[in-house]
Amino acid sequence: MLEDKLSLQSLIETAQNKNMRFGDLCIELQAAEMGITKEQLLTKMISILEVMESSIEHGLMGEKSKGGLVGGDAKKMRDYIAAEKNVCLVGNLIADTIIMAIAVGEANAGMGKIVAAPTAGSSGVLPAVLFSLAKNNNVARLNLAQALVVAGVIGMVIASRATLSGAEGGCQAECGAAAAMAAGAAVDLLGGSPTEVGHAAAITLKNMLGLVCDPVAGLVEVPCVKRNSGAAVQALAAAQMSLAGIISVIPVDEVIDSMASVGSAMHCSLKETAQGGLAATPTALNWAQKLFGNP
């Protein structure tokens, strides 16, 4: 399945022609690809969800990261939101999404166990979207497992047509791809059509096109952790737009292809080398000096 370029559009059309939910088609195709039953596939997804959930809990312990640049912010925001006297500006769903995305990012920076979805640096986006939706909409675990398969298929298409690597395509390929996966998964989870899944993924990637990879001191801490929260919120915004019938004028496969060309055109200083963007600021260079003895 991975030898040729995959097409999200053709998968969407297949689901439409068969009058299937996109998630059902993804499960059918993935189970066949892996040579297992649909039930076995969903059982695997449920065990992955358990790791995601425990990575949220790990992050909420508030430990400092190995580099010392991040840690404790997920707990800080959870405690702030929990206090009745404080203002929850963004509503419960978005607040939970931000908290969970930061929590997983902090768990990753603290060497905790996470699910790379699609990468470790972007590992907070998908759990944040799925578990905040589950918490605020009473979603069953089996439905979350189905949504995870949808996310995986979208990730496979992006990997096939572009890249999931920050070193190759910038952060648009990591946090952008994670957000597109999460947006499509969210739409399917909430009963959206296959076409709406595609528009959600396309709108998300469009909104994150050109995002550079600029980790301070080469560590997956700053800006990565907070960038996960922004990407997760982008995913929810796109999912909401798509469910409301808003479409992406540029078809999803073409958006993914444009991400690939933007990534190719991006200067190497902006692709995980820690030589450009935020990583090249005076403060970042001071951190690099402090941590590693060289800027």
For 188, residues 6+ apart whose C-beta sits below 8 A from its C-beta are 21, 22, 23, 146, 147, 150, 197
Q: Is the peptide bond before 223 cis (omega within 30 degrees of 0)?
A: yes
175 vs 255 by CB, closer to ligand SF4: 175
Residue closer to ligand SF4 (CB basis): 45 or 222? 222
Give least dist CB 174 to ligand SF4, A.
4
Measured in whole angstroms, the distance separating CA 79 from the mean position of its chain's CA atoms is 24
Distance CA(34)–CA(73), nearest Å, equals: 39
Provide, rounded to whole angstroms, the least separation between the CB of residue 189 and ligand SF4: 24
Question: Are 153 and 11 in contact, with CB atoms under 8 Å apart?
Answer: yes
CB of 179 to ligand SF4, least distance (A): 11
Which residue in the set 121, 192, 194, 198 belongs to the binding site for ligand SF4 (CB under 6 A)?
A: 121
CA-nearest of 203, 171, 172, 175 to 187 is 203
CB 133 within 8 A of CB 73: no
How does DSSP classify residue 172? I
Residues 32-91 close enough to bind ligand SF4 by CB under 6 A: none
Task: Return the DSSP state at 69.
Answer: S
Mask for 146-185, x = binds ligand SF4 (CB under 6 A): --------------------x----x--xx----------
What values do phi and psi take at 116, rounded to 5?
A: -70, 110
224 forms part of the interface with ligand SF4 (CB under 6 A): yes
Question: Which residue among 220, 235, 239, 241 contacts ligand SF4 (CB under 6 A)?
Answer: 220
215 binds ligand SF4 (CB under 6 A): yes
Kindly determine how many residues on this chain lie close enough to bind ligand SF4 according to the rule CB under 6 A.
Answer: 14
* Selection from 212, 207, 210 nearest residue 238 by Cα: 207
Please report whether residue 108 would count as binding ligand SF4 according to CB under 6 A. Answer: no
Q: How many CB atoms lie within 10 A of CB 235?
A: 35
Site of tokens 């996960």: 228
Using the rule CB under 6 A, which residue among 129, 213, 239, 288 binds ligand SF4? 213
Residue 239 beta carbon to ligand SF4: minimum distance, rounded to whole angstroms: 21
Q: Residue 161 Cβ, how far from ligand SF4 at the closest point, in Å?
A: 18
Judged by beta carbon, residue 178 or residue 239, the one nearer ligand SF4 is 178
Please report whether residue 272 would count as binding ligand SF4 according to CB under 6 A.
Answer: yes
Bridge partners, 213 (sequence order)? 271
Site residues, ligand SF4 (CB under 6 A): 121-122, 166, 171, 174-175, 213-215, 220, 223-224, 227, 272
